[in-house]
């Protein structure tokens, strides 16, 4: 049975960004976590008794702080990451945090 294609509503750029986020996640995951556990780099927070989803939330706050600084100062001095890059990273971290939190709470249901 052929899967029916879903009609997508909303902004077309939204779906382009989802694809771009998937590519960024895959590339960075290769470099940070390898192939065994795709969240290994985030789960390392457990080594110092911090739950991974909380450790990921701290990374999110770092990105938020970066954007807030840009808002106040109007520029980044370090040019290797643009505001757009930071916003995409925020979205990716939010999804990863969702996964980590879901893994943590899956046995609580």
Return the percentage of the chain with pLDDT > 70, whole number: 94
Q: In which band, very low, low, confident or very high, does the pLDDT at 18 lie, cut at 50, 70 and 90?
A: very high
Rounded distance, CA 96 to CA 92, Å?
Answer: 6
- Whole-prediction pTM value? 0.85
Confidence of residue 78 (pLDDT cuts 50, 70, 90): confident
Report residue 23's pLDDT band, with 50, 70 and 90 as the boundaries: very high
Domain ranges of the chain: 47-101
Q: How many angstroms separate the most distant Cα atoms in the chain?
A: 55
- The model's pLDDT over 34-59, given as tens digits with 9 standing for 90+, comes to 778 889 999 999 999 999 999 999 99
């Amino acid at each position: 049975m052929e899967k029916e294609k879903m009609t997508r509503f909303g902004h077309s750029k939204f779906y382009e960004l989802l694809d771009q986020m998937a590519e960024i996640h895959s590339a960075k995951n290769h470099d940070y976590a390898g192939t065994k556990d795709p969240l290994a780099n985030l789960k390392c927070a457990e080594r110092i008794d911090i739950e991974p989803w909380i450790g990921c939330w701290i990374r999110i706050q770092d990105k938020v702080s970066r954007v807030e600084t840009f808002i106040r100062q109007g520029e980044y001095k370090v040019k290797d990451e643009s505001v757009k890059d930071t916003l995409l990273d925020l979205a990716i971290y939010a999804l990863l945090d969702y996964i980590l939190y879901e893994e943590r709470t899956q046995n609580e249901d």
